[in-house]
Structures are given as structure tokens and as C-alpha cells.
């Protein structure tokens, strides 16, 4: 494991979620905004769990061919 300390995940603050969804041209009513906020918190929670994955001995991928065969 790396010696770099990783701070514990903090609760996510999404600011003005209505403004964010408005910029995305996705106007939502209050009920749907609450649902989206909950889903965003869940997604960030899952991403925070990835900090526990040890990648010290994983070599970087140097070749990737995105062509479909």
C-alpha cells in the first residue's frame, strides 16, 4: 500500500443541484431533485470505496486497441 495518506471521505455537498441540472438542460421538479441528489451521493460513495483497492503492483496499461473486431 502507498505511504501517501488518504483522507477519509467527507460528505458530498452538491451546492445548488437545481442550478447544476439546469446547466445540463435537465430541469427537474423538487421530488426528482431529491432522487438525483441521493443517487449522486450513492455514486460518490461507491467511488470512495475504490480508494481501498491496492494498485501498487498493477502495471499501467500501455496498449489499448479500441477497435471493434
Note the pLDDT tens digit of each residue in 11-68: 666 678 888 888 889 889 989 988 988 888 888 888 888 878 888 888 887 777 788 7
d(CA 21, CA 36): 9
Q: How far apart are CA 13 and CA 35, in angstroms?
A: 15
Whole-model pTM: value is 0.53
| Environment class of 21 (CB within 10 Å of its CB; exposed 0-12, middle 13-18, buried 19+) | middle
Are the CB atoms for 38 and 45 separated by under 8 Å? no
pLDDT reported for residue 9: 64
Residue 32's pLDDT is 92
Whole-number Å distance between alpha carbons of 2 and 29: 44
For position 25, what pLDDT does the model report? 92
Amino acid at each position: 500500500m502507498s505511504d501517501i495518506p488518504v483522507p477519509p471521505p467527507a460528505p458530498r455537498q452538491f451546492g445548488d443541484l437545481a442550478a447544476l441540472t439546469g446547466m445540463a438542460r435537465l430541469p427537474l421538479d423538487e421530488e426528482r431533485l431529491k432522487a438525483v441528489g441521493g443517487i449522486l451521493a450513492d455514486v460518490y460513495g461507491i467511488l470512495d470505496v475504490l480508494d481501498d483497492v491496492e494498485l501498487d503492483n498493477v502495471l499501467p496499461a500501455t496498449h489499448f486497441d479500441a477497435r471493434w473486431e
